[in-house]
Structure 1
Amino acid sequence: MNGLYTALMCSFHDDGRVNEQGLREIVRYNLDVQQVDGLYVNGSTGENFLISTEQKKQIFRVVKDEVEDEAKLIAQVGSLNIDEATDLAQYATDLGYNAISAVTPFYYKFDFDEIKDYYFTILDSVDNDLIIYSIPALTGVNMNLEQFGELFAHDRIIGVKFTAPDFFLLERIRHQFPDKLIYSGFDEMLLPASVLNIDGAIGSTFNINGKRARQIFELAQNGQLNEARDVQKVTNDLITDVLSNGLYPTIKEILKVQGVDAGTLRKPMKPLTADGAKEAERIANTFIT
């Protein structure tokens, strides 16, 4: 399960339906052009928290049908509704996903015992391995080293998608749990995370910048830090421009410039203005090869 995974975008029609053909095109672009090792399906980048349970299942099904056994697949099943989470976990497992993942429960201020019970309930419902999705900036859930240890004590919690800038905690997790998988979740911080001996990364911008991500990761692994820093600088120039223009709509527009039917966004997300679309085209022409 080591390697680079795209946090997969999903293509939607203007009326909010899943655009299956567009989704397949996004999958193919990631595998054939960006050459990532796998896909992280129905995460934040896939607008997961804006769609219905049936649409989530549809996306899981279409992606698996397109990929088959060509790449590794991780199914993000986390939900505030534990019944939905366990239902999706079983559905993705039955489809043959290599692992499931679940965001920490959010919005309500759950204590750690509640968070732990959430993860163990999901695992009790399914015969699959689970990767914690930790993104404190969006969930408000900050877990410490001891709490990660309590979760990692479950032999089927195999790792964490670590989307946080706390490199002290990242290093401590790496030191304390050498057999658990650590995936970096902040694309702009891939180099410093790689120096700390992560096992891979899961990134939104890998949809359009996966090849550079691999360069950063492999150069760092080989000790070529100056070269890796140069590639991270270009990557961060790209990320700066994308964030300034709107993360998700800009990535979708760049995919369109590359000939991929990336569709539109789910409301309440808004599409790019005409000027925003021109800026996305400029970014694509400047950075995407």
Structure 2
Amino acid sequence: MKGIFTALMCAFDEQGNIHEKGLRQLVRHNIDVSKVDGLYVNGSTGENFLISTEDKKRIFEIVKDEAGDQVKLIAQVGALNIDEAVELAKYATDLGYDSLSAVTPFYYKFDFEEVKDYYNTIINSVDNTMIIYSIPALTGVNMSLEQFGELFENEKIIGVKFTAPDFYLLERLRHAYPEKLIYSGFDEMLLSAAVLNVDGAIGSTFNVNGARARSIFELAQEGKIEEAREIQKVTNDLISGILANGLYQTIKEMLKTQGVEAGVCRKPMKQLSADNVKVAQDLAATFLTK
């Protein structure tokens, strides 16, 4: 369960329906071209919080059918409706997903005991493991070292997707819990996390930049920091261009230049203008090779 995991996108048609052919192409591109170690399915990058429970199940099913056992699969099942989260956890487990993940419950200001009960309720309902998805900038949920430790007391909670710029907390987590899996969640900070000996990374831009992510991670492990820094610089040039143009929409347009029918984003996300599409194509021409 270590290495580079793509936070998988989902292809949708103009009506917002799952574009199955495109989704299968996304899976194949990440496995065959980017050669990632695994896929993180139905996370933020997959527009998870914009789709129905049945669509989430269908995505889990298609990805598992296409990927088989070629790479490790992590199913993000977190939801404000805990009954939905448990239902999805059971569904993904039955499909054979290698682990589950769940974003911390958000919107309402849950206290830590409520957060802890949420995770234990989900993972104790299935015969599987759980990776916490911590992204405080979007959820407003900040957890301390001691609180992570309380969650880790459940042996089925095996790690965390750490999407935060708090490298002090990251180092403390790594030191305190060497047996737990820690994944970096900020693509633009991969090198900084890698030198702290994280176990891998889960990223949106790996859909188009997986090979560079692997190079950064492996070079850092080998102590070749200057070489890794140069690749991180190129990566961040790419990320800056993507963020300025529209994150998910731009990645999808870049994938189209690689022959992947990545579709469009679901509303209320807007579609790119003709000028923005051109920017995405130029980014692909500059940073990607077929």
Letter in 2 for 1:229: R
Give the Cα separation in 1 of the matches to 2:259 and 2:275: 20
Letter in 2 for 1:215: S
Q: Which runs of 4+ in 1 moved over 4 A?
A: none
Letter in 2 for 1:141: V
Q: What does residue 61 of structure 1 align with?
A: 61
Q: CA RMSD in A?
A: 0.4
| Structure-to-structure mapping, 1:123-272, within 5 angstroms | 123-272=123-272
Deviation digits for residues 113-163 of structure 1, max 9, x if unmatched?
Answer: 000000000012111000000000000000000000000011000000000
Q: Secondary structure at the match of 2:131?
A: strand
| Structure-to-structure mapping, 1:89-100, within 5 angstroms | 89-100=89-100
Give the Cα separation in 1 of the matches to 2:42 and 2:80: 15
Show structure 1 runs of 5+ residues with no match: none
Q: What does residue 281 of structure 1 align with?
A: 281
Deviation at 1:3, TM superposition (A): 0.8
Deviation digits for residues 216-243 of structure 1, max 9, x if unmatched?
Answer: 0000000000000000000000000000
Give the Cα separation in 1 of the matches to 2:211 and 2:264: 25
Q: Secondary structure at the match of 1:32?
A: helix
Show structure 2 runs of 5+ residues with no match: none
Give the Cα separation in 2 of the matches to 1:219 and 1:2: 15
Give the Cα separation in 1 of the matches to 2:125 and 2:53: 17
Give the Cα separation in 2 of the matches to 1:48 and 1:288: 27
Give the Cα separation in 2 of the matches to 1:230 and 1:263: 32
Deviation digits for residues 93-112 of structure 1, max 9, x if unmatched?
Answer: 00000000000000000000
TM-score (norm 1): 1.00
Q: What does residue 109 of structure 2 align with?
A: 109
Give the Cα separation in 2 of the matches to 1:209 and 1:23: 18
Q: Secondary structure at the match of 1:202?
A: strand
Give the Cα separation in 1 of the matches to 2:264 and 2:204: 16
Give the Cα separation in 2 of the matches to 1:84 and 1:2: 28
Give the Cα separation in 2 of the matches to 1:34 and 1:242: 18
Q: Secondary structure at the match of 2:253?
A: helix
Q: Secondary structure at the match of 2:45?
A: helix
Q: What does residue 43 of structure 1 align with?
A: 43
% of aligned pairs identical? 72
Deviation at 1:186, TM superposition (A): 0.1
Q: Count residues in correspondence.
A: 289
Q: Secondary structure at the match of 1:232?
A: helix
Give the Cα separation in 2 of the matches to 1:279 and 1:269: 18
Letter in 2 for 1:182: I
Give the Cα separation in 2 of the matches to 1:226 and 1:11: 37
TM-score (norm 2): 0.99
